[in-house]
């Protein structure tokens, strides 16, 4: 399948924090864009720029050459792909189906198998880089699927991201994203603990960040989320509830592989505590609230 600007129709489902910006890049990149979201209001800005609305995943898929999804949870992925009015029911053979949601590797494999039987070309392609990466088109994209399909889709991926890597067959994009979330889990605790420690020690945490962000402890979270914490900005970003969903998948996968992951489990229990206190719809930087604001 060859992409052609002005001819290829891209259908995009899921216009939240991430999907809205990602779909916008595709429209600005010169492709015809069809959009669908559970809450239509979130798509109005894109419709004003020339995107066309589809009433459900079925209608989106039947008019699209490439379908991209960026919904919330694995159950949402299952619903938009495999539901009665879902993508698999609506798409024409030859359609490329790209799920960019962070979802379970097992579900990616299941969808890939069903898709292959029906003559679709599936790719799992979750991302990292946050709301900022989505807005700026600088996401890391970790893909799983057929190499030829991946290469054919590169011009679309390049509109949304910078570091775009095929990791292997179906499900390997999602496994790579789990490795990313495992690294992030301990890192988020480290960021919050470093800030809390700096305050207790009577230091100016902003000045501390100037020293430690560029050194061996540097990370995306330290550079981007620690300043939000210091500014009292706990808006998502990346929802606490979605991070909990990711860590649950990563714990299930690591247990399935008989691997212990104590850092991941500790972060998971901290984030569960945070959600139980009513912060599940805030950004992941709200973890700092457990350390005393």
Contacts to ligand NAP by CB under 6 A: 13-19, 37-39, 42, 70-72, 76, 79-80, 101-102, 127-128, 130-131, 237-239, 242, 246
Nearer to ligand NAP, 115 or 184 (CB): 184
Residue 278 DSSP code: I
Q: Is 177 marked active-site? A: yes
Nearer to ligand NAP, 70 or 267 (CB): 70
Largest CA distance in the chain: 64
Taking the complex as a whole, the smallest distance from the CB of residue 33 to ligand NAP amounts, in Å, to 16
Q: Is there a contact between 143 and 119 (Cβ–Cβ < 8 Å)?
A: no
DSSP 25-62: HHHHTT-EEEEE-SSGGGGHHHHHTT-EE-SSHHHHHH
Question: 9: exposed, middle or buried (C-beta count within 10 Å: 0-12, 13-18, 19+)?
Answer: middle
Output the residue with the shortest Cβ distance to ligand NAP. Answer: 16
| Secondary structure of residue 241 in the 3-state scheme | helix
> Tokens at residue 265, please?
């489990």
Q: Single out the residue of 32, 45, 34 nearest to residue 3, CA to CA.
A: 32
Nearer to ligand NAP, 120 or 238 (CB): 238
Taking the complex as a whole, the smallest distance from the CB of residue 7 to ligand NAP amounts, in Å, to 26
Selected catalytic residue, list 132, 162, 177, 248? 177
Dist. CA 175–CA 220, nearest whole Å: 20
Nearer to ligand NAP, 56 or 198 (CB): 56
Nearer to ligand NAP, 186 or 281 (CB): 281
Q: Single out the residue of 158, 177, 191, 163 nearest to residue 283, CA to CA.
A: 191
Nearer to ligand NAP, 137 or 198 (CB): 137
Dist. CA 25–CA 185, nearest whole Å: 29
Taking the complex as a whole, the smallest distance from the CB of residue 147 to ligand NAP amounts, in Å, to 24
Taking the complex as a whole, the smallest distance from the CB of residue 188 to ligand NAP amounts, in Å, to 12
Task: Give percent helix, percent strand, percent coil of the chain, each to the nearest 5.
Answer: 55, 15, 30
Taking the complex as a whole, the smallest distance from the CB of residue 102 to ligand NAP amounts, in Å, to 4
Dist. CA 35–CA 68, nearest whole Å: 10
Taking the complex as a whole, the smallest distance from the CB of residue 85 to ligand NAP amounts, in Å, to 10
Would you please indicate which residues are annotated as catalytic (active-site) residues?
Answer: 177
């Amino acid at each position: 399948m060859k992409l052609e600007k002005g001819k290829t129709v891209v259908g995009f489902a899921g216009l939240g924090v991430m999907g809205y910006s990602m779909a916008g890049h595709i429209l600005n990149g010169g492709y015809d864009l069809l959009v669908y979201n559970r809450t239509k209001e979130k798509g109005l800005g894109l419709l004003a720029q020339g995107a066309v609305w589809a009433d459900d995943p079925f209608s989106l898929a039947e008019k699209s050459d490439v379908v991209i999804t960026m919904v919330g949870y694995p159950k949402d992925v299952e619903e938009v792909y495999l539901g009665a009015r879902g993508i698999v029911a609506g798409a024409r053979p030859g359609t490329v189906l790209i799920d960019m949601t962070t979802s379970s590797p097992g579900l990616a494999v299941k969808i890939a198998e069903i898709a292959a039987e029906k003559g679709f070309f599936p790719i799992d392609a979750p991302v990292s880089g946050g709301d900022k990466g989505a807005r700026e088109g600088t996401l890391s994209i970790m893909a799983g699927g057929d190499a030829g399909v991946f290469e054919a889709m590169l011009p679309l991926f390049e509109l949304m991201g910078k570091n775009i890597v095929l990791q292997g067959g179906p499900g390997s994009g999602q496994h790579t994203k789990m490795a990313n979330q495992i690294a992030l889990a301990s890192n988020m605790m480290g960021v919050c603990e470093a800030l809390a420690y700096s305050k207790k020690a009577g230091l100016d945490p902003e000045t501390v960040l100037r020293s430690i962000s560029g050194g061996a402890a540097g990370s995306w979270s330290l550079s981007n989320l620690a300043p939000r914490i210091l500014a009292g900005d706990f808006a998502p970003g990346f929802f606490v509830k979605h991070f909990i969903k990711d860590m649950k998948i990563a714990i299930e996968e690591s247990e399935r592989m008989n691997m212990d992951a104590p850092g991941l489990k500790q972060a998971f229990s901290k984030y569960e505590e945070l959600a139980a206190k009513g912060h599940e719809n805030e950004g992941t930087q709200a973890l700092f609230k457990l350390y005393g604001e």
